Amino acid sequence: MTVRFHEFADQLQYQDIPQKALWTLRRSFLDTMGVAAIGSTTELSRIARNVAPLIFGVGAAGQARMLMDGRAVSPVGAAMAGAFTVDSIDAHDGTTPCKGHAGSAIFPAMIAMAQSSAPGMDGRGFAEILAAAYELCYRAGLAQHATCADYHTSGAWTAVGVAAAGAKLLGGTAEQIRQAAGIGEYHGPRSQMMRCIDHPTMLRDGVGWGAPSGVTAAYLAKEGFTGAPALTCEGEEAAQFWEDLGDNWRLIEDTHYKAYPCCRWAHPALDSVKDMMQTHALDHRDIDRVEIRTFHYATRLAGHEPSTQDEFAYAIAFPVAAMIVRGQVGVEELGENALHDSDILRVSRAVELIDDPELTRISTDKRWAQVTLVLNDGRRVEDAPRTPRGDADAPLSDDEILSKYQSLAVPILGEKRAAQIAKSALNFDSLNAAEFAVFLGLVCEVV
């Protein structure tokens, strides 16, 4: 290890952050706020925001307003409510090597802490916090997956990065950052991802609990609580994931964006049927069956008849059927009407998921699927195996991300507020302290 993780986090300054990383952070900021806007309309988000004051009321140490809500709670509570809100729509940024998502925890947590504990924070300072948080989350996540004997949700390892970056935000020493990471790791929910994939509920990706776990860890470490070492950061087996810290940025290489609001594992099949339907000028009434060969885990996301948004988020068959019938998977396809659309349901029931050993073998850094459409006349339209758009090697353009943001945010926030947030998010690291405070106020106003 060339530089120790807590010293890296402590010393990281704006000028050390590569341009591509800043570009990624701006895109993630915008993308996450769009998801937060639409997320605020879910039942999951409503419950989380109503319960937060009962658990994490405003105490003596300052307050934070909840994302897209306006009500004040402790920064821990705002992190919980905000992370559940973002996680409630599975359209936020992610990292395939970590099989999860960091932005859904980082933005709500750091926006909450900045409000209550960093009054003079400007955009440059916030970029330092975000960059440290992403980089530490991703590496802790890689280490955790490689060293732990179960597949845990993002809540587990985002707690580590949020804790460390949170301690940096509080002006903690390198040693306090180290202790924070250890506490965050210990308290983070090592919840079993596959349980929620087999039985989708509001718990989802665990960040709703990982974000507040990380935030409390940061404050605790600052107050003298101890909890090091985080084995995902300091353990011998984890060392290989930290060797090039500071030289290479996993943040740049691994962050992907979603074109559709559902689990990443459905995306290669969605891209595929979208292209095939267009290329072959097909109508959904032409489709008899759909065969999707993909990696093992994905075959467990059957989801032929999701009855809730949580089940939709962890489905493949239904979103693919929606794409075949409607040519898009957007906000409307998440709605109650779409879940009962008989055309979509017919196609969805005709989707077969096939566990493919070869695609399972190669689906590590990328997620693979191969789709065949079987038509009523018996013809088979086959696509080549493919990985989803939106990965770093096939990125969504800035325009695509902006238009996705608009499609999610404008109906909820209105043109004006949506445009103000977009302008600030895409430019956040140039905002001075006053402008940055206004920006945070804007994303924490009631919807």
Partner 1 sequence: MRRALRFFRRSISKLSVTVRGLDVKDVIRFILNTNYEDLPKAIIDDAVRALVDTLGVGIAATRTDLSRIIGNHAHTMFGGQAAQIWPDGKTASPAGAALANGMTIDSVDAHDGQKLTKGHVGCGVIPSAIAMMQAENRSDSKEFLTLVAIGYEVGSRAGIALHRSACDYHTSGAWIALAVAAMGSRILGLDENQTREALGIAEYHGPRSQMMRTIDAPTMVKDGSGWGAMAGVSAAYLARDGFTGAPAISLESPELADIWQDIGTRWYIQEQYIKLYPVCRWAQPAAEAVIALQRDNDIAIKDIAAIRVESFHEAKRLTSIPTTTEQAQYSLPFSLGAALVFGTIGVDEVMEAGLNNPAVLRLARLVEMEETDAFNDAFPARRFARAHISLTDGKRVTSEVTEAQGDPEERLGHDVIRQKFLRFTEPVMGKEKARGLLSSIEALRDGGELNDMIARLSFKA
Residues that bind partner 1 (CB under 8 A): 43-44, 47-48, 50-51, 54-61, 73-76, 148-153, 179, 182-183, 185-192, 194-196, 198-199, 201-203, 206, 209, 213, 216, 219-220, 223-229, 231, 310
Which residue, 250, 22, 16, 7, is CA-closest to 130? 22
Q: Pick between residue 59 and residue 414 the one whose CB is nearest to partner 1.
A: 59
- Closest approach, Cβ 45 to partner 1, in A, equals 11
Which residue, 141, 166, 180, is CA-closest to 79? 166
Query: What is the b/e burial string over 48-65, where b = at least 16 CB atoms within 10 angstroms of the residue's CB?
Result: bbeebbeebebeeeebbb
Helix (H, G, I), strand (E, B) or coil at 64: strand
- Residue 59: alpha-carbon gap to chain centroid: 29
Q: Pick between residue 106 and residue 202 the one whose CB is nearest to partner 1.
A: 202
Q: Pick between residue 76 and residue 287 the one whose CB is nearest to partner 1.
A: 76
Q: Pick between residue 24 and residue 179 the one whose CB is nearest to partner 1.
A: 179
Q: Pick between residue 151 and residue 428 the one whose CB is nearest to partner 1.
A: 151
CB-side neighbour CA atoms (13 Å) of 191 = 22
Crossing angle for the helix pair 103-117 and 154-169, to the nearest 10 degrees = 30
Contact status, residue 44 vs residue 310, Cβ threshold 8 Å: yes
- Closest approach, Cβ 159 to partner 1, in A, equals 9
- Closest approach, Cβ 355 to partner 1, in A, equals 12
Strand spans (E) along 201-294: 255-256, 287-294
Q: Pick between residue 140 and residue 290 the one whose CB is nearest to partner 1.
A: 140
Q: Pick between residue 181 and residue 329 the one whose CB is nearest to partner 1.
A: 181
Helix (H, G, I), strand (E, B) or coil at 89: coil
Look-up of token digits 């897209």: 68
Q: Pick between residue 216 and residue 370 the one whose CB is nearest to partner 1.
A: 216
Residue 36 zone, left/alpha/beta (φ > 0; ψ -120 to 50; rest): alpha
Q: Pick between residue 48 and residue 262 the one whose CB is nearest to partner 1.
A: 48
Q: Pick between residue 229 and residue 395 the one whose CB is nearest to partner 1.
A: 229
At 242, list the tokens. Answer: 């930290």
Handedness of CA 255, 257, 261, 263 (dihedral sign): negative
Going by the DSSP 8-state scheme, the letter that residue 282 receives in this structure is -
- Closest approach, Cβ 63 to partner 1, in A, equals 9
Q: Pick between residue 58 and residue 442 the one whose CB is nearest to partner 1.
A: 58
Helix (H, G, I), strand (E, B) or coil at 244: coil
The DSSP annotation for 290-353 comes to EEEEE-HHHHT---SS--SHHHHHT-SHHHHHHHHHHS--SHHHHSHHHHT-HHHHHHHHTEEE
Query: What is the b/e burial string over 299-338, where b = at least 16 CB atoms within 10 angstroms of the residue's CB?
Result: bebbbbebeebbbbbbbbbbbbbbbbbbeebbbebbeeeb
Q: Give the angle 347-350-355 at the CA atoms, nearest 5°.
A: 125
At 105, list the tokens. Answer: 């925890």
Q: Pick between residue 134 and residue 219 the one whose CB is nearest to partner 1.
A: 219
- Residue 204: alpha-carbon gap to chain centroid: 11
- Closest approach, Cβ 371 to partner 1, in A, equals 25
In terms of Cβ atoms closer than 10 Å to its own Cβ (0-12, 13-18, 19+), residue 123 is: buried
- Closest approach, Cβ 167 to partner 1, in A, equals 14
